[in-house]
Amino acid sequence: MDRDSPNQYPHVVSDLVQVSALDEAAKPRNFNAIFRSEFDYVWNSLRRLGVPERDLEDLTHDVFFRVYERFADYDAARPVRPWLFGFSFRVASDYRRRFSNQREVLTAASEASDPAPTALDRMVTAEAMSLAQAALSGIEMDRRAVFILHEIDGCSVPEIANTLELPLNTTYSRLRVARDEFRAALHRERLRRGER
C-alpha cells in the first residue's frame, strides 16, 4: 500500500471530505476571500479535531483571528488549506489543554438534531459520519491531525510535516499508527453498534 496515497478509507471518510478542487487561478489572494471561501473548511477541521459543537463558532473565529495576525506570512503560491489546518490544529490543541480536566456528559437531548426531513440517504450519511467521527475521536490528537490532513484533506506527507513542523519520519510514523488506531476504533465502534 502506498503510504502517500490519500483517502485510504473512502467508504467511511468520504462523507467527511469537502470538495477541495480549487482552480489555481481561483485561489484566494486576500484575507477576506480566504475567510469567505474557507470558513466551512476550518469549522469542519475543528470538529474533526474534537471541538464540541457549542464551541465551533468561537474557535473558528479564533483561528481566523490568528490567521489575520499572521496573514503577511501567507505564501499565495502554496495551498491555503494546509496552512489553515496548522492554525486549526493549534487552536484545537490549546482548547483541549484548557479543558482537559473537565468532563461533559452528553445525553441524547444534548446532541444536535437536524431539523430537515429525514430521508434514507441523509440517514445513511449521518450514520457514516457519526461512525467516522467516533473513530477519529479515538485517535490521539497529534496523530489525528496527521491522519486528517492526509486521509481527508489529501495532503502529502512532506506537506504535512512542513505544516505541523515535524520531522518527515515522525510524520510517516504518526500516519501509520493513526491508520491502525482508526481501523481498530472503527471495528470497536461497529461492534458496539451491533454491526459486522
If one looks up domain 121-196 in CATH, what number appears?
Answer: 1.10.10.10
Strand, coil or helix: 151: helix
Q: Is the pLDDT of residue 8 over 60?
A: no
- Contacts for 57 with CB less than 8 Å, ≥ 6 apart: 43
Burial class of residue 165 (count of CB atoms within 10 Å of its CB; 0-12, 13-18, 19+): exposed
- Can you tell me which residue has the cell 430521508? 119
At 191, which helix (H) or strand (E)? helix 168-192
Q: Are 145 and 60 in contact (CB under 8 A)?
A: no
**What does the mean pLDDT of the chain come to?**
76
Domain-wise residue ranges, the chain: 24-101, 121-196
Asked if 24-101 and 121-196 have one fold, the answer is no
Cα(74)–Cα(72) distance, rounded to whole angstroms?
Answer: 6
Q: How confident is the model at residue 137 (pLDDT cuts 50, 70, 90)?
A: confident
Number of H helices, E strands in the chain: 8, 0
> Taking the model in full, what pTM does it have?
0.59
Q: How confident is the model at residue 109 (pLDDT cuts 50, 70, 90)?
A: very low
pLDDT (average), residues 49-71: 91
Q: Is the pLDDT of residue 171 over 50?
A: yes
If one looks up domain 24-101 in CATH, what number appears?
Answer: 1.10.1740.10
> Which 8-state DSSP code applies to residue 53?
G
Residue percentage of the chain with pLDDT more than 90? 27
At 107, which helix (H) or strand (E)? none
Q: Are 16 and 127 in contact (CB under 8 A)?
A: no
Q: Are 20 and 151 in contact (CB under 8 A)?
A: no
Q: How confident is the model at residue 167 (pLDDT cuts 50, 70, 90)?
A: very high
Per-residue model confidence as pLDDT tens digits over 139-152: 888 899 999 889 88
Least confident of 57-66, 87-96, 110-119, 175-184: 110-119
Separation in Å, CA 194 to CA 50, 145, 187 = 24, 29, 11
